[in-house]
């Protein structure tokens, strides 16, 4: 057993304990207390998790090079930690009185009506704002989504997390072999929801796409599904509000037919829409993720962050 295996064995009981504690305590807190707790935990993580902070800073400097000169870098990174802390705490908090809380605290912008009125639809999400709460609220409001998630290493945690995500009608399918399940769902006029800002190796269907001026591997699954089913493609975002509520917003409706024979054009448009949202509200994106992890052949490695390979 190598060092990484030892670390995983040590981490598993801690993670299970933290998850259990969150399930036991967070759902009983008032909404204002959850928001304040997320702010405190996010600020603490920003101070204590040096590696994630360095990854976030490197990503931010790559994508928005002028932000440090404006003196905003530390504030944006700290706020990104706090955004993610609230997203994860809300998985627990919305588990109690789910229907009442989601209806009270998640509002749908008129742009979001396309999700309820048109089918089939592929809702394209990102680690921006609270994507988890939006999926649960949309499912509760009449658009139960079929989503893809990679299973967690610990089966207990995976089972608990899946239970939280599916309690309002959302379905979770494993990443392996997901395309067939998603095609079937779309052909049955079900809503499919996909996260598109994750690294997908070329061997797993990824394609190189520019993201803030540098190529990153992006899943080609949206192009595949939209091309085969004629589904509308809609980018969706969950914006947190100052009072702890959320507003679900949809971007422009797209389709494979709009791009004709231009391969990858639909994905390019989706990535551009996400870039625009991030530029407007950078504190809402997951900067701690190694988004520029892989360097395509022939690219200058010096242009990529320190963690890239």
**Mind spelling out the 3-state secondary structure of 56-110?**
HHHHHHHHCCCCCCCCCHHHHHHHHHHHHHHHHHHHHHCCCCHHHHHHHHEEECH
What's the CA gap between 293 and 245, in Å, rounded? Answer: 33
pLDDT value at 36 more than 70? yes
Indicate the SS3 state at residue 128: strand
How far CA 275 is from CA of 2, 110, 201, 269, in Å, comes to 39, 22, 21, 10
Percent of the chain with pLDDT over 70: 94
Q: What is the pLDDT of residue 280?
A: 97
What's the CA gap between 184 and 190, in Å, rounded? Answer: 9
What's the CA gap between 2 and 107, in Å, rounded? Answer: 48
- Tokens encoding 129: 């704002």
CA atoms within 13 A on the CB side of 93: 24
Which H helix or E strand runs over 124? strand 121-125
- Tokens encoding 48: 């204590």
Bridge partners of 108?
A: 248
Q: What is the pLDDT of residues 53-87, one digit of tens each?
A: 999 999 999 999 988 766 789 999 999 999 999 99
pTM greater than 0.95: no
Bridge partners of 194?
A: 124
């Amino acid at each position: 057993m190598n060092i990484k295996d030892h670390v995983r064995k040590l981490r598993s009981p801690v993670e299970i304990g933290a998850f259990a504690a969150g399930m036991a305590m967070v759902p009983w807190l008032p909404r204002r207390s959850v928001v304040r707790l997320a702010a405190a935990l996010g600020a603490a993580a920003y101070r204590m998790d040096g590696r994630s902070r360095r990854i976030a800073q490197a990503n931010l400097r790559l994508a928005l090079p002028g932000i440090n000169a404006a003196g905003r870098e530390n504030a944006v990174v700290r706020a990104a930690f706090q955004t993610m802390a609230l997203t994860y705490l809300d998985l627990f908090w919305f588990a109690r009185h789910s229907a009442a809380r989601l209806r009270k605290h998640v509002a749908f912008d008129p742009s979001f009506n396309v999700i309820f009125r048109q089918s089939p639809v592929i809702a394209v999400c990102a680690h921006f704002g609270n994507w988890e709460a939006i999926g649960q609220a949309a499912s509760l409001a009449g658009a139960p989504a079929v989503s893809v998630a990679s299973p967690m290493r610990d089966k207990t945690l995976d089972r608990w997390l899946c239970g939280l995500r599916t309690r309002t009608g959302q379905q979770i399918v494993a990443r392996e072999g997901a395309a067939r399940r998603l095609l079937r769902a779309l052909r049955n006029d079900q809503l499919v929801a996909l996260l598109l800002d994750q690294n997908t190796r070329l061997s797993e269907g990824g394609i190189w796409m520019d993201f803030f001026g540098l190529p990153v591997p992006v899943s080609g699954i949206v192009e595949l599904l939209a091309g085969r089913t004629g589904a509308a493609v809609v980018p969706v975002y969950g914006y947190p509000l100052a009072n702890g509520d959320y507003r679900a917003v949809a971007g422009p409706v797209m389709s494979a037919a709009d791009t004709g024979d231009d391969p990858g054009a639909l994905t390019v448009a989706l990535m551009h829409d996400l870039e625009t949202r991030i530029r407007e509200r950078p504190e809402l994106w997951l900067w701690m993720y190694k988004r520029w992890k892989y360097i395509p052949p022939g690219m200058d490695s010096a242009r990529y962050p320190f963690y890239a390979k």
